[in-house]
Structure formats: structure tokens, C-alpha cells
Amino acid sequence: MHQLDQLKQFTTVVADTGNFKQLAQFAPQDATTNPSLILKAVQQPDYAPLLAETVAAHRGLPLDEVVDRVLVRFGLEILKVVPGRVSTEVDARLSFDTAATVARAHRIIALYEAAGIGRDRVLIKIASTWEGIQAARILEHEGIHCNLTLLFAFCQAVACGEAGVQLISPFVGRIYDWYKKSAGAKWDEAAMAGVNDPGVQSVAQIYTYYKKFGVPTEVMGASFRNAGQITALAGCDLLTISPDLLAQLQASEAPIVRALDPAAAQSAPVHAVSYNEASFRYALNEDAMATEKLAEGIRAFAVDAGKLDQMILSL
């Protein structure tokens, strides 16, 4: 049995791509997108007509609404391939505006519902800022489920759990990137692999905390740099994986052992914590890696959202 099928015995596999024509070969349960992935997809000949067709059908609408219609159109195509959920992201430029995030989420859900897709098949992706988490709290109360992304710090995960968020996406690879860059020439790749990988350790800590204290929020490891990070998190609720790494897992038959187990989490020496806005902001500020990667991630997604805006305006 290849590694991808082995992994599916412990973990829900999710495809991290806007390239829906690649999905079927991996048979993922769900799929995730983000502004960068959609931008990458629409620049390919296979998907350019979809962009042009969607823009032409809604010419004259405000730019931000046309963008949402493009994102939802990709989501609808993805949902024809996956049996589960698709994650569609709110514009990263709204990451510090709770009310605007809620309003944009309402529009995205309304577009899906108008196309006959129920709320149970859509996750609204929102950056894990304090404002984003509070937007998710409001949306979850309304039955609109959220995927809190750009999550790097333990305090972000705890606050998401307290807000009743459906799912979080801790970014394994970007955490790894920061520590590797910070260490410079002292970085020992072999010694920092597997369970010693700082990104893997971050997800394991969150998973253990949630299972220990019965937090129902789903943990979905994301942003992987190599297959070893994925196999070290076998047993996580979900893992969202790029097509390249899905293909690597399909090509290997090396055995995978379950690494994360809810039963083992029950005996972990972990204490419950809680955050209000002030303590959340302080805890995030104390974590240099999380502070830098959250800001960097929002900036990068905002740049790609701007590029998608320009592509749409040029059509």
C-alpha cells in the first residue's frame, strides 16, 4: 500500500490547490485554496478561459464582488471533484477588520448557496488575527463554518478553540522555514527532521491540547515542505497537501506509523489556558516567529489578491 493510502487510514487527506483538474488522481476528501493558488491557476492556459468567462458574465459589478465570484467559481468546480468541503478565502486585506470579514463571508456563502451548495460543504478561510478570530466567532454562531489560516502560535490555536472555530490550519512549512533561516549555518537538517521539526512540534502541541481538553475544533496541518513532515503528523485530524507532495506519497510504499493519537493526548502534562484580547496580543507579540510569519503571510496574500484584481481589470 502506498503512503497516501496508508495516511488515509489515520487522517483525512485534503488537496491544497486551485488546480481542480489535478485532484481526481489523489481522491482527497476536501480541498483548500488561497489567493496565491487561485492566481497561479488562472495564469495557466487550462484555467484562463474560466476566469475570462466569469469576469465577462459579471462585468459592471464592483471589483471585489467579481473577485468573490471568481473564487466561488473555482470552488464550485473543485466541489464537483471532492466529496467533502472546499475552503475559500476572504481577502487578506480585510485581516484586521472584523465587520468587513463577516460581510465578505456572508457574500461568499450566499454565492455558494445560490449555486445549490450547502453551508456544510464550504469553509470560509480567514487569517488568525484577533479580528479574524472574532469574525469567525460571529460566523460560527450563524452556522457558517470557518478555516482559520496563517496560524503559527499556540495562542492563536487556543483563541480559535475558544471562539468555536470549525477548523484551523497551522502552517508547518513556514514555521520550519523561519527556524531554519534563523539558525543559518548551525541548522542540522537531519537532526531537525521528523518529530524534531519545529513545525511538526507546533501542530503536535495544538493537537494534544485540543484532544486533552475536548476542544472540537479540527486540526489540519498545512504548508508542507517535504513528505517527512506529513508522515510525522500521521493521525492529525486532517492534512492539506500540495499535488507535488501527494504524488510523492503515492510513489512510496515505505510504512507509516500513526504519530498523533487522541488517547495518548489524555495523559499529556498540559494545563488549560485562556486568552482575552490583551493577553492574546501579548502572547503573539512574545513569539517572534509567529509575529513575523503572520505579518509576512498577510502581506503575501494581499499582494497576490492585488495581482488577481489587476488581471480581472485587464480583461
- Between CA 85 and CA 132 the distance in angstroms is 20
**What digits encode the pLDDT tens for the residues 158-180?**
999 999 999 999 999 999 999 99
Evaluate if residue 139 carries a pLDDT over 90.
yes
Q: Which domain holds residue 195?
A: 3-314
* pLDDT > 90 fraction of the chain, expressed in percent and rounded: 100
Burial of residue 286 (CB within 10 Å: 0-12, 13-18, 19+) is: exposed
Residue with cell 489523489: 26
pTM for this structure?
0.98
Which spans in the chain are helix H? 3-8, 35-42, 48-57, 63-79, 98-114, 130-141, 154-162, 172-183, 198-212, 227-231, 243-251, 262-265, 277-286, 288-314
CA torsion sign, 236 to 241 to 246 to 252? Answer: negative
C-alpha cell at 139: 460566523
Residue 198's pLDDT is 98
C-alpha cell at 290: 509567529
Evaluate if residue 16 carries a pLDDT over 90.
yes
**What digits encode the pLDDT tens for the residues 28-57?**
999 999 989 999 999 999 999 999 999 999
Q: How confident is the model at residue 120 (pLDDT cuts 50, 70, 90)?
A: very high
Chain centre to alpha carbon of residue 285: 22
Rounded to an integer, the average pLDDT of 225-230 is 98
Domain count, the chain: 1
Rounded to an integer, the average pLDDT of 117-127 is 98
Residue 43's pLDDT is 96
- Is 40 annotated as catalytic? no
Residue 230's pLDDT is 98
CATH code, domain with 282: 3.20.20.70
- Between CA 187 and CA 197 the distance in angstroms is 11
Evaluate if residue 251 carries a pLDDT over 90.
yes
Evaluate if residue 182 carries a pLDDT over 90.
yes
Contact between 34 and 40 (Cβ < 8 Å): no
Residue 35's pLDDT is 85
C-alpha cell at 100: 468587513
Total Cβ atoms within 10 A of residue 245: 19
Query: Residue 238's beta-bridge partner residues?
Result: 12, 220
Residue 171 is given by DSSP the state: B
Selecting among 125, 211, 212, 293, the annotated active-site residue is: 125
